Structure 1
Amino acid sequence: MTSTIIPDLQKPLPDHTQLPESDGTFVKNFQEHPQSIILTDSIGPLLEQRHPDGRYAIGQDCGIYWRETEPAEKGAEAPDWFYVPGVPAKVNGQTRRSYVLWKEHLAPLIAIEFASGNGSEERDKTPLYNEAGEVQNPGKFWVYERIIHILFYGIFEIKTNKLEVYHLADGCYQEIAPNERGHYPIGPLGVELGLWEGSYQNQTQIWLRWWDLDGNLLLIGSERAEIEKHRAEQAETQLEQAETQLEQVETQLEQAETQLALAETQLEQERLEKQRLLDRLRAAGIDPDNL
């Protein structure tokens, strides 16, 4: 049984540098890490626009400490991916090792779990206290909903490609229905969350992806680079075509100039021939003006 530690008011509460950053468990499948990267990479440009001061944090399989316990890691939940607006990515110049609620006082706007099993752990609503008032291990769903108050909570079952998204309303999670595109709008973030089939890091399968509210897929860096490469190739092709057309025009201009020079030469020859004829007539005593 995990016990809740009553804080010593004379002792300062620990921060992220004093709490464990891992509980020693293995990542449960090969999709979790690249799945987190896709979500972080694709939403990065949007978050940079929304937070020009850089005050936001993204956690990937990172602990959120919500209570003091012994051992300490029992007082944390570690969503596979979460986003917190309004907090710096570093604390006192140090990269975050975990997210400590009693130091930050700001809940994540969204957390997402990649369920390797049937999602029962991610949907566990077991409360902190049982009917006898005894402390017990609370379920992840209950902690996110009742303690941390994460505004949006997504559960993605990797085996079945099933996605559920919940929204916190009046202190309780309400499941969101997908829109006409099959996506789940995350209004405060200005995005939609949905499923996308494709290949990433040598894995072709269903992935969680972001779209904007108009249904445009938010691209990861390699996709953005590919588009820029394609645009650059198109621009280069258009430039080559323009250069070819210019060369053709220059050739045509040269040909026209040559033809003009030939015509001028011919006219000059005809003028000289006419003048010689007139001179011969006058030499013979014939006035060409009276002919």
Structure 2
Amino acid sequence: MVIEAKNLALPDHTQLPESDGTFVKNFQEHPQSILLTDSILPRLQEIHPDGYYCIGQDSGIYWRLTEPPERGAEAPDWFYVPNVPPTLDGQFRRSYVFWQELIAPMIVLEFVSGNGEEERDKTPYQGKFWIYENIIRPPYYGIYEVKKASVEVYQLVANHYEKMVPNSRGHYPIAPMGVELGIWQGNFLLDKEIPWLRWWDEQGNLLLTGDERAEVERQRAETERQRAETERQRAEAVEQENQRLREQLRALGIDPDTLS
């Protein structure tokens, strides 16, 4: 039953459930969200030097008033909203209330463990795909099928979603963010090399996590240390050779200091 909004004060993010009560579908979901967030943060800080943006991870987007409230929300596994404050009334958001803030997410991502039927459901006012396309309307909607290690990305064009075609790198450009989205094979938190959904920049360079950036910096510093050590040893070898030649000259009765 839909509650008539005109008969009551609209609830905010502090009054609505922060979870729909469902279980995480698999142990990769939480690390996957962390990976997406950690690696995109430097890019978002460039886009939003004022810090006005928010990221949701398995958080509810409330789009209508219902009873129970959870029926009026979708909970993408990951989403990003530009140009909104990171907190409301000094509190971190428990959910994203569409009627309170009005700004649509730029992108929502769903991680699929089943057959993807739920994420592609176009049933009016019920199906995820229909709700994202017609009500919440993020410009980009991604469906990541974990078992298939594949991702579909839809772009909102003329009021409906069109399935995007990947570029030559097999990535999907998300132009407003200056990034590309695709599949990466590697190791992150689970101590196992498996496929992950990741970001790249527009030149095809992988966006690194904080730990990966620290490791790159560690390797750079180690390379510089080794270069400096090699240079020191070379200079030392040259000095030793010069000293040997000076001693030979002295043995021949020649003062090396008088030679030019």
**TM-score when normalising by structure 2:** 0.93
Residue 65 (structure 2) aligned to one of 60, 68, 80: 68
Deviation for aligned residue 1:67: 0.8
Mean Cα deviation higher: 105-114 or 65-74? 65-74
SS, match of residue 2 in structure 2: coil
SS, match of residue 22 in structure 1: coil
Residue 100 (structure 1) aligned to one of 97, 102, 105: 97
Give aligned pairs, total: 255
| 1:225 partnered with 2:206 | no
Task: Please name the residue that 2:205 is paired with.
Answer: 216
Task: Please name the residue that 1:169 is paired with.
Answer: 157
CA distance in structure 1 between the aligned counterparts of 2:16 and 2:206, rounded to whole angstroms: 38
CA distance in structure 2 between the aligned counterparts of 1:265 and 1:106, rounded to whole angstroms: 87
Q: Cα deviation per residue 1:53-82 (whole Å; 9 max; x = unaligned)?
A: 111111000000111111111111000000
Task: Please name the residue that 1:123 is paired with.
Answer: 120
SS, match of residue 195 in structure 2: strand
SS, match of residue 185 in structure 1: strand
Greater Rg by CA: 1
CA distance in structure 1 between the aligned counterparts of 2:63 and 2:166, rounded to whole angstroms: 31
Contact 2:249 2:255 in 1 (8 A): no
SS, match of residue 238 in structure 2: helix
* Structure 1 unaligned regions, length at least 5: 129-137, 268-291
CA distance in structure 2 between the aligned counterparts of 1:42 and 1:56, rounded to whole angstroms: 15
Any residues of structure 2 matched to 1:102-251 within 5 Å, and which? 102-128=99-125, 138-201=126-189, 202-251=191-240
| 1:41 partnered with 2:17 | no
CA distance in structure 2 between the aligned counterparts of 1:89 and 1:266, rounded to whole angstroms: 76
Deviation for aligned residue 1:12: 3.0
Identity %: 58
Contact 2:173 2:202 in 1 (8 A): yes
Task: Please name the residue that 1:5 is paired with.
Answer: 3
Task: Please name the residue that 2:243 is paired with.
Answer: 254
* Structure 2 unaligned regions, length at least 5: none
Paired residue type of 1:139: G
Deviation for aligned residue 1:262: 4.4
CA distance in structure 2 between the aligned counterparts of 1:197 and 1:157, rounded to whole angstroms: 14
SS, match of residue 5 in structure 2: coil
Contact 2:54 2:82 in 1 (8 A): yes
Deviation for aligned residue 1:260: 4.9
Deviation for aligned residue 1:256: 4.2
CA distance in structure 2 between the aligned counterparts of 1:123 and 1:265, rounded to whole angstroms: 91
SS, match of residue 108 in structure 1: coil
Paired residue type of 1:122: E
Inter-CA distance 254–147: structure 2 relative to 1 (3 Å threshold): same
